C-alpha cells in the first residue's frame, strides 16, 4: 500500500508515514518536543506522532471509539502543544486591540473570546482564544504550529504600548475534558462551582488540590472544559480525571478524534480552512473583525475593503455521495469543471458518511443548493464522486 495524506497543518499529516515507506522530506524535524504527559500516553499504549513540532498522541485504540465517547460520554485530551502567551501590563488591552482583529479591551476579566491575528493585507496569521484573566493580564492561545509567529507578531505590535509579551508555553500543560459527562466528572475533583462557569468563561481554582485555570471552552462541539496547569502538575491532574471518569465512559482521546470532532462541529483548522491566503471574511468568520474599537489595528484597511466586497469564495459543508473520502486539497467540480477545493474531509463517525469543508466559487455554492442533477462532485484521485452541499455545522449537540 502507499498512503496519501492531506496537508501540512492537518493532524492527518501526523498519520504514521511508515505505511508509505520512504519518509517525507517535508516531515517534522527529527526531535519533536514532548509534552509533560508523554509518559502517560506511552503507558496507555498510544500511537504517538509528530505534529507541529510536538510528539502527540494520535490515537490510543480506535479513533472512532474515542470520537463516539466524546459525543456520548467524555474524552480526555492532552493539548499541551498549544501555545500560551501572556500579555500583561496597563497597556495590554490596547496592545491587543491593535494586534488582533477583535476588541480585547472590551472583554470582561474572567471571560474569553475567539479571535484572529491578521497580516496587514488581512490574511489570517492564526486563530486564537484570548482569556482576560485580570484587568492588566491576558493569556493568548495560538495553535502549536504558529506559536512562534504569533509571539513575534505580538511582541512587535506591542511596541509603544505599556505591555509585556511573554511566551510561557513551556511552563503550562493544557488538558481538555469534553463531552456530556465532562462537567459531572470534573465536579468531583474541583472546588469551582461549574454551574456558575459560562461558555467562554474562566476561573482559577484547583483540581485534585492542584492549582488550575479552568475554562469552559473546547474544539469538539460538546460541552467541556480546558484546564491549564503547571507542567509539573499535569500528570496528577490527568490521572485524577481519568480515574474519576473511568466508570462514566471517559476515555483518553487523540488528535485523530479531535480532528473528526471539530470537523463535524464545523470548526476551522489553521492550515486547512485558515491561512495567510484567506481573510476572516472568506472563511465566513467576518463577525470576529471589530471595526468600532478605539484606535487602528493591523489589517484594518484591507479587512474593511474585503468586508464590503462581494464574497470571492464561500466555505461550504459537503456530504459525500459515495464512501470514498474527499480529502484536503481535492478539487470540487461543477459540471466537471474545478470550482473549488476541499480544505478538510473525513469519514464522519456520527453521520456514517464522509463529510468535508470546501472553499467554493460563491455562484456554485448558491446553485448547488438547488441541484438535483448531481452536478456537484469531488475529484477523488481522478474519479468524480457526487457530493451535496449542506449548512455548517454537520453536528450540533442536543441541549
Partner 1 sequence: MTIPDELRYTAEHEWVSISGTVASVGITDYAQQALGDVVYVSVPEPGSRVTAGEPCGEVESTKSVSDIYSPVDGEVTEVNEDLEDDPALVNTDPYGAGWLMRIRLDPDSDDSGLLTPDEYAALTKESE
Q: Output the CA torsion 207→209→210→215 (10° steps).
A: 20
**Which of positions 299-328 make contact with partner 1 (CB under 8 A)?**
323-325, 327
Q: Are 173 and 36 in contact (CB under 8 A)?
A: yes
d(C-alpha 324, C-alpha 338), whole Å: 18
Q: How far is the CB of 262 from partner 1 (least distance, A)?
A: 13
Q: Note whether 381 binds partner 1 by CB under 8 A.
A: yes
When asked if residue 5 is in the footprint of partner 1 (CB under 8 A), the reply is: yes
Identify the three-state secondary structure at position 189.
coil
64 forms part of the interface with partner 1 (CB under 8 A): yes
By CB under 8 A, residue 398 contacts partner 1? no
Interface with partner 1 includes 26 (CB under 8 A)? no
For residues 69-105, b (16+ Cβ closer than 10 Å) or e, as one string?
Answer: bbbebbbbbbbbbbbbbbbbbebbbbbbbbbbbbbbb
Per-residue cell: 283: 472563511
- Min dist. Cβ of residue 260 to partner 1 (A): 6
Q: Does 382 bind partner 1 (CB under 8 A)?
A: no
DSSP 8-state symbol, 286: G
Q: Which of 35, 178, 260, 272 binds partner 1 (CB under 8 A)?
A: 260
Work out whether 343 is an interface residue with partner 1 (CB under 8 A).
no
Q: Which is nearer to partner 1, 143 or 260 (CB)?
A: 260
Q: Which of 38, 59, 132, 155 binds partner 1 (CB under 8 A)?
A: 59
379: contact with partner 1 by CB under 8 A: no
**Cis before residue 393, ω within 30 degrees of 0?**
yes
Q: Supply the minimum distance, in Å, between the C-beta of residue 263 and partner 1.
A: 10
30 in contact with partner 1 (CB under 8 A): no
Rounded distance between C-alpha atoms, residue 234 and residue 238, angstroms: 6
Provide CB contacts within 8 A for 249, sequence distance 6+. Answer: 69, 72, 73, 74, 179, 181
* Footprint of partner 1 (CB under 8 A): 1-6, 11-12, 15-16, 18-21, 47, 58-59, 62-64, 256, 259-260, 323-325, 327, 346-347, 381
Amino acid at each position: 500500500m502507499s498512503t496519501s495524506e492531506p496537508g501540512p497543518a492537518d493532524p492527518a499529516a501526523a498519520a504514521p508515514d511508515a505505511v508509505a515507506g520512504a519518509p517525507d522530506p517535508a516531515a517534522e524535524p527529527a526531535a519533536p518536543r514532548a509534552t509533560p504527559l508523554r509518559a502517560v500516553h506511552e503507558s496507555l499504549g498510544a500511537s504517538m506522532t509528530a505534529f507541529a513540532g510536538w510528539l502527540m498522541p494520535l490515537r490510543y485504540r480506535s479513533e472512532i471509539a474515542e470520537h463516539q465517547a466524546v459525543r456520548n460520554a467524555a474524552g480526555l485530551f492532552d493539548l499541551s502543544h498549544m501555545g500560551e502567551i501572556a500579555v500583561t501590563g496597563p497597556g495590554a488591552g490596547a496592545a491587543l486591540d491593535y494586534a488582533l482583529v477583535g476588541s480585547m479591551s472590551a472583554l470582561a476579566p474572567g471571560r474569553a473570546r475567539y479571535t484572529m491575528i491578521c497580516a496587514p493585507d488581512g490574511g489570517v496569521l492564526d486563530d486564537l482564544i484570548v482569556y482576560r484573566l485580570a484587568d492588566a493580564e491576558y493569556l493568548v492561545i495560538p495553535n502549536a504550529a504558529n506559536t512562534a509567529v504569533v509571539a513575534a507578531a505580538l511582541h512587535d505590535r506591542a511596541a509603544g504600548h505599556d505591555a509585556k509579551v511573554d511566551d510561557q508555553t513551556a511552563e503550562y500543560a493544557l488538558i481538555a475534558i469534553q463531552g456530556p459527562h465532562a462537567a459531572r466528572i470534573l465536579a468531583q475533583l474541583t472546588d469551582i462551582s461549574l454551574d456558575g462557569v459560562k461558555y467562554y468563561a474562566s476561573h482559577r481554582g484547583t483540581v485534585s488540590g492542584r492549582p488550575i485555570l479552568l475554562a469552559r471552552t473546547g474544539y469538539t462541539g460538546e460541552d467541556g472544559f480546558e484546564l491549564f496547569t503547571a507542567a509539573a502538575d499535569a500528570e496528577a491532574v490527568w490521572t485524577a480525571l481519568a480515574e474519576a471518569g473511568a466508570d462514566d465512559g471517559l476515555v483518553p482521546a487523540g488528535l485523530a478524534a479531535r480532528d473528526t470532532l471539530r470537523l463535524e462541529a464545523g470548526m476551522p483548522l489553521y492550515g486547512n480552512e485558515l491561512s495567510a491566503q484567506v481573510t476572516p471574511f472568506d472563511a465566513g468568520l467576518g463577525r470576529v473583525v471589530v471595526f468600532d474599537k478605539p484606535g487602528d489595528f493591523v489589517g484594518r484597511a484591507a479587512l474593511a475593503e474585503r468586508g464590503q466586497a462581494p464574497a470571492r469564495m464561500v466555505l461550504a459543508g459537503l456530504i459525500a455521495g459515495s464512501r470514498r473520502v474527499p480529502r484536503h486539497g481535492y478539487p470540487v467540480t461543477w459540471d466537471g469543471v474545478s470550482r473549488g477545493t476541499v480544505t478538510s474531509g473525513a469519514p464522519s463517525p456520527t453521520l456514517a458518511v464522509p463529510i468535508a469543508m470546501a472553499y467554493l466559487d460563491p455562484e456554485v455554492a448558491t446553485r448547488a443548493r438547488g441541484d438535483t442533477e448531481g452536478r456537484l462532485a469531488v475529484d477523488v484521485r481522478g474519479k468524480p464522486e457526487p457530493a451535496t452541499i449542506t449548512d455548517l455545522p454537520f453536528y450540533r449537540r442536543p441541549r
